[in-house]
Amino acid sequence: MVGACRKSVQDLSQLKGRQPDPVALQDVRELIGEAPPEGHRRDLLIEYLHRLNDQHRALFERHLVALASDMRLAPVEVYEVASFYHHFQILRDDQTAPAQTVRVCGGLSCAMAGSDALRAEIEASTQPSLRVLAAPCLGRCEQAPAVLLGQCALGRAGLEDVLEAVTTELSAGQATTGIRNDTDLIGYDAYRQQGGYALAAAVVQGELDAQDVMANMEGSGLRGLGGAGFPAGRKWRIVRDQSAPRLLAVNIDEGEPGTFKDRSYLERDPHRFLEGMLIAAQVAGTEACYIYLRDEYHDARKMLTREIEALQADPPCPLPQIELRRGAGAYVCGEESAMIESIEGKRGAPRLRPPYLAQVGLFGRPTLEHNFETLYWVREILEKGPQWFNSFGRQGRHGLRSFSVSGRVKEPGVKLAPAGISVRELIDEYCGGMADGHTLYAYLPGGASGGILPASLCHLALDFDTLQPHGCFIGSAAVVVLSQHDRARDAALNSMQFFAAESCGQCTPCRVGTAKAAALMQAPVWDMVTLDDLCTVMADASICGLGQAAPNPVRSVQRYFAHEIGG
């Protein structure tokens, strides 16, 4: 009798909550494999969600329940992660996935190139099964307007380009990728033939002293090129002094509107970055490297996967563990601690600090976090010496900067120029001048969060620490150029709408402040008293840089372009 009661209780317990469907379990296991007794690795949750989303063009509830079962997680844990990221669409089991999803970039450079009108044309011209979305910056600002059709990126897209790609993709029955061929790519064999990885091998094998390497990095003055600008060599030394095991995390989630330099370098010379990563890993004493690449770069991800495999198949020296992780559409994951959370398979919510990542980072271990471009320069600095890097510069500044230039210039693109160059010099010497019929009116020196400056300040040195007195900063050096045909208030509104859409929602000042500010900024006359209050609260009380920097465009318009906002 007791045994029967126990069996009855056990049967009832199995009925609590939704149970995994056998067919759905089979679908999941075909994609990610059979689960070990303890379940699949928790940190791979987002990778598994991508596999399901790619295969079925959406995430169905039955698959989320089955995935939760095989990962030994509550379904709500899987659902909260899946619902956080823009690139996952969750559907009920009785719904139908779209034939394809078209994302039309709504970033400032693409908006200036007519992306809103393009999106309206696509919506009016395609079949109902096609899902058309306004997307945040796709990282192809020099190719504006940009479109992402499934995993196929289209640059300088028009309606006919998109419809032709839709027809091709649907008839093929699978996603196509890439707008760039590999003819410009320096692959593994070519890189080795050019002396690649010799420096990394010398460091790993102890032929070059780690202390000397750090001293050279510190002497070069190289600072983090993702936006924060923390001295790279000092960061290596801080992490090296922490207790082992230590980890390295690489940020290639360049979601700042106007920024595309990392993609441009990655598509041409991935091994220069990988060698810099190996050197940093060895000097800082990290045992594993995690590379976080934004999801919009599908073609780059496939290429980088292939090149990492080539490196691992014929290693020039003992390699650390290398894992390539895929973002899922969340600008906030460009913030280092939010990126760490995402690598761990969680929602990309920034952490409160201290402790800092160098002390308690990925999986609770001391972590060296770097932007892609920072590591890209390591080999050249160590080969040519710190004096080489420091020999460049204007207006008293030192080093080189990679500027992502877009907007009203003749030749947009990544421009490698001396630190301290002015925007006028950058346009005239590197971009072929302003586009025909356009004169310089204003510019964003550091993307959406870096503020807006008028043409009268076109002489300012573009570098770290030079723009703060003017209410701006260089950040990732994303320069968006406006002309007399544009309005600074429209650029500021575009930026604030971006921040409102990309806020992770963790803190009230950012979540509510950005949405309220965006609504107020659509009025013909701005309510500056209320906007001032919102900006103060966002800047002072937000957890991370998204909310803290969101007021910059508003304050720039108020300071330099008051004639545009009335009142």
The DSSP-derived string for 461-508 is --STTTSGGGT---TTTEEEEEETTS-HHHHHHHHHHHHHHH--SSSH
CA separation for the pair 492, 545 (Å, rounded)? 17
| R_g of the chain computed on alpha carbons | 24
pLDDT at position 9:
40
Per DSSP, the residues of 148-181 read: EETTEEESS--HHHHHHHHHHHHHHTS----SS-
Q: What pLDDT score was predicted for residue 16?
A: 61
Q: Does residue 179 surpass a pLDDT of 50?
A: no
What does the pLDDT read at residue 182? 60
Distance CA 447, CA 494 (A): 11
> Does 172 score more than 80 pLDDT?
no
Order the strands of the 321-326 sheet from edge to edge: 321-326, 286-293, 246-252, 367-371
**pLDDT 10s digits, 522-539:** 999 999 999 999 999 999
Q: Which 8-state DSSP code applies to residue 316?
A: S
Separation between Cα atoms, residue 105 and residue 144, nearest integer Å: 8
Q: Please, which pLDDT band fits residue 126 given cuts at 50, 70 and 90?
A: confident
pLDDT at 567: 64
What pLDDT is attached to residue 210? 95
pLDDT at 566: 83
Q: What is the mean pLDDT of the chain?
A: 94
Which of 18 and 372 is assigned the larger pLDDT? 372
Q: What are phi and psi of 187, to 5 degrees?
A: -75, 180
Pairing label, strands 100-105, 147-149: antiparallel
> How far is CA 152 from its chain centroid?
18
Distance CA 149, CA 286 (A): 38
Phi–psi pair at 482, nearest 5 degrees = -110, 150
Predicted confidence band at 228 (pLDDT cuts at 50, 70, 90)?
A: confident
394 vs 14, residue with greater confidence: 394
**Please, which residues bridge with residue 239 across strands?**
none
C-beta separation of 373 from 265 below 8 A: yes
pLDDT at 549 over 60: yes
Q: Which residues contact 529 (CB under 8 A, 6 or more apart)?
A: none
Which amino acid makes up residue 498?
F
Alpha carbons within 13 angstroms on the beta-carbon side of residue 504 total: 27
User: How large is the average pLDDT for residues 459-475?
Assistant: 96
Phi, psi of 471 (to 5 degrees): 80, 20
Tokens of 515: 């949405």
Give how far Cα 12 sits from Cα of 34, 75, 349, 395, Å.
27, 19, 37, 75
Answer yes or no: is pLDDT of 178 > 70. no
Note the pLDDT of residue 183: 65
pLDDT(7) > 60? no
Residue with the two structure tokens 């630190």: 419
User: What pLDDT does 121 receive?
Assistant: 96
pLDDT at 136 over 80: yes
Per the CB < 8 A criterion, the answer to whether 520 and 526 are in contact is yes
Of the chain, the percentage scoring pLDDT greater than 90 comes to 90
Q: If you ran DSSP here, which 8-state letter would residue 355 be given?
A: S
Backbone angles phi, psi at 387, to 5 degrees: -65, -35
Contact 151, 87 (CB under 8 A): no
Distance CA 444, CA 440 (A): 12
Token pair for 81: 């992660």
Phi, psi of 112 (to 5 degrees): -65, -25
Could you tell me the two tokens for 102? Answer: 């078209």
Quick: pLDDT tens for 325-342.
Answer: 999 999 999 999 999 999
Which residues 6+ apart lie within 8 Å of 387 measured at CB? 219
CA angle 489, 123, 254 (to 5 degrees): 50
Task: Return the amino acid letter for 366.
Answer: P
Q: What is the dihedral of CA 360, 293, 371, 318, to 10 degrees?
A: 80
Q: What are phi and psi of 525, to 5 degrees?
A: -120, 125
Q: At what angle do helices 261-268 and 298-313 cross, to 10 degrees?
A: 40
- Report whether pLDDT(89) > 50: yes
pLDDT tens per residue, range 236-285: 999 999 999 999 999 999 999 999 999 999 999 999 999 999 999 999 99
pLDDT at 181: 52
